């Protein structure tokens, strides 16, 4: 697999107002907004991962993109990876294999085309970043609450776990199709007000 590096040789650099324009050896010009504050926690987490896993791993563009996505979402689907990495499905699968080998990600047991941050990475970054619960943890969280008699909406689950509403919807569908949960018959059957209970 070809590793795409994050660095490049700068030929020139000019500052104008709040933007910086950089011309690279390849002739590309980029503009960066200097008013935005760098995400120092993410950079610290990236350094921790690079220092404690494979050195140089985080110089790979694909690795950084997937890692960044997974610091904000509970899982990444293959289709999302194709879009994020701007590549083919076959290449995205190769990148997944590489990232699994490097222990950055782990496939979700019930859905192999979905990946979550690996346990080692979560452990390395838990004091630095507030990372959403992984999908298997969300499954467990929902089941525990519903076994205790709670009725929950998608929004309540999303707010409590930090998991994106779209991802919560997928988990709820999976649990409903598995017969673990069902819609509360005392509430609405459609829309954001649907409450879910243990089956």
Q: For 46-81, write each residue's pLDDT tens digit.
A: 888 888 887 777 778 888 899 888 888 888 888 889
Beta-carbon contacts of 51 under 8 Å, excluding residues fewer than 6 positions away, are none
Give tens-digit pLDDT for 5-42. 444 333 444 444 444 444 444 455 445 555 567 788 88
Q: What is the pLDDT of residue 5?
A: 43
Q: What is the pLDDT of residue 36?
A: 65
Rounded to two decimals, the pTM is 0.61
The pLDDT of residue 169 is above 70 = yes
Give the confidence band of 159 by pLDDT, cuts at 50, 70, 90. Answer: confident
> What burial letters (b/e) apply to 153-167, b meaning 16+ CB within 10 Å?
bbeebbeebebeeeb
Give tens-digit pLDDT for 116-125. 888 888 888 8
Beta-carbon contacts of 181 under 8 Å, excluding residues fewer than 6 positions away, are 142, 143, 146, 172, 175, 196, 197, 198, 199
């Amino acid at each position: 697999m070809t590793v795409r590096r994050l660095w490049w040789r700068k030929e020139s650099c000019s500052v104008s107002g709040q933007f910086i324009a950089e011309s690279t050896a390849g002739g590309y010009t980029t503009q960066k907004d200097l008013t935005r504050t760098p995400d120092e926690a993410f950079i610290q987490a990236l350094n921790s991962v690079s220092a404690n896993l494979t050195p140089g791993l985080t110089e790979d563009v694909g690795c950084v993109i997937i890692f960044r996505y997974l610091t904000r979402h509970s899982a990444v689907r293959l289709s999302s990876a194709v879009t994020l990495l701007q590549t083919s499905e076959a290449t995205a699968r190769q990148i997944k294999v590489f990232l699994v080998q490097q222990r950055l990600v782990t496939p979700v047991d019930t859905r192999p085309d979905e990946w979550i941050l690996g346990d080692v990475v979560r452990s390395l970054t838990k004091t630095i970043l507030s990372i959403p619960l992984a999908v298997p943890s969300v499954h467990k969280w929902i089941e525990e609450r519903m076994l205790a008699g709670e009725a929950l909406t998608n929004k309540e689950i999303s707010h409590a776990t930090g998991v994106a509403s779209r991802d919560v919807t997928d988990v709820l569908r999976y649990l409903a199709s598995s017969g673990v949960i069902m819609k509360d018959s005392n509430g609405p059957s459609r829309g954001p007000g649907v409450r879910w209970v243990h089956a």
